[in-house]
Amino acid sequence: MLKRLILMGILSTLVLSACTSQNQPKTYTLEEYFPFQENRHQIFAGEGNEYAAFETYVDYIDGNKMQERKINGGTISISVYSRDLDTISRVFFEGESYGRWSAMNQTNREEILLKSPLKVGTTWKVQQDQVEAERAITSVDYEVHTAMGVWKCIEVTTRFEHSTLKEYYAPTVGLVQQVFTNSQEPSSEIRSILVKTEKEVKYPTMIRVYYPEFELNSLLYTEIPVLLSTNQEMAESWMQEMKKAPQGSSLLPIFSENTRILHIQRVSAENRLVLNLSKEFVSEMNAGTTLEALLLKSIAATFGYHYQVSWVELQIDGNPYASGHVELEPGQALPSEWQDYKPYLDK
């Protein structure tokens, strides 16, 4: 009898444990609510504003950082996100950022998007455009209905003086919805909602190369479509296209066969780009003063256009550009002047 009672007790404990395990909802980590995924493309539909619809691509991922590109009907911006054990933060943002470049090592803000513990009531302060606001987790099981399905999300609410922003994060997906409401016009809601996520999608962009035309003593440009994977540098595409000219044209290559792009850095605050080339650009140039001047203009126009800067500081192996004909001072930059040139018309 005693043995039977002991056995029944053990079985009851096992059954109760199993039921408890099955009924207990799965808990997700901070990382799962804001996943870093290579070659991910997301499309958001918009309501209430022409710029509410947007799409995103992942430019770079390195450890605990991710750079994402956001494209809407009016502009392209980039954000760098950083995550640690307790927070997901936006540490860099730049609007009107049209060129592919890495801002992974730059910071210009510290805006916490998500914060542990992931429970209702977790609250913190944020600052946007020099305005401080309170941000808090206001739900952990809010259902968001989309064309892709229904997600149980964490709702994060940011309260400004005259407006409210609600953002919804789903596990393994990330942001699925944003809702902005102006308290002075509560009926005019602006909503962005995820409608599609694609994996293994490269970012489609165009590079414009300004080639020398010696007889005209000017430049003509062509445009070449390229597809970029996450962490793929633009330098590969530049070197491939600038070492050759359009077939059958009178245009000239810009780079020699062994020239390499060592580093590209966009200095946004100074409207300037720093371009560091290998020594072969000078040693293998084989050009007189007229052609060298055209080559330098080609470089300034090509990179100035892509990165939308007015000045290009050219370096050779990390030193100011110097050749037998031209010598630049430290920090001296070339004007991009890409607006002055016409397209090459292939006849």
Give me the domains of the chain, ranges plus CATH numbers. Answer: 30-198 (2.40.360), 203-343 (no CATH)
Please write the tens of the pLDDT for every residue from 266-283: 888 899 999 999 999 999
Q: What is the DSSP letter of 231?
A: T
Cβ atoms of residues 295 and 287 within 8 Å? yes
27 pLDDT tier (thresholds 50, 70, 90): confident
- Does pLDDT of 20 surpass 50? no
- Does pLDDT of 83 surpass 70? yes
**Rounded Cα–Cα distance for residues 153 and 169 (Å):** 5
Among 26, 246, 64, 221, which residue's Cα sits nearest to residue 141?
A: 26
Cβ contacts of 298 within 8 Å, gap of 6 or more: 209, 210, 211, 212, 219, 254
pLDDT at 346: 64
Please write the tens of the pLDDT for every residue from 121-144: 999 999 877 788 999 999 999 999
Average pLDDT value for residue range 79-107: 93
* Mean pLDDT, all residues of the chain: 90
DSSP string, 123-190: EEEEEETTEEEEEEEEEEEEEEEETTEEEEEEEEEEE-SSEEEEEEEETTTEEEEEEEEETTEEEEEE
Pairing of strands 41-47, 185-198: antiparallel
**Rounded Cα–Cα distance for residues 23 and 3 (Å):** 30
97 pLDDT tier (thresholds 50, 70, 90): confident
**Rounded Cα–Cα distance for residues 341 and 212 (Å):** 11
Helices marked H in 243-311? 280-283, 289-307
- Does pLDDT of 215 surpass 50? yes
The total number of residues written for the chain in this structure: 347
First to last CA, the chain: 101
- Does pLDDT of 96 surpass 90? no
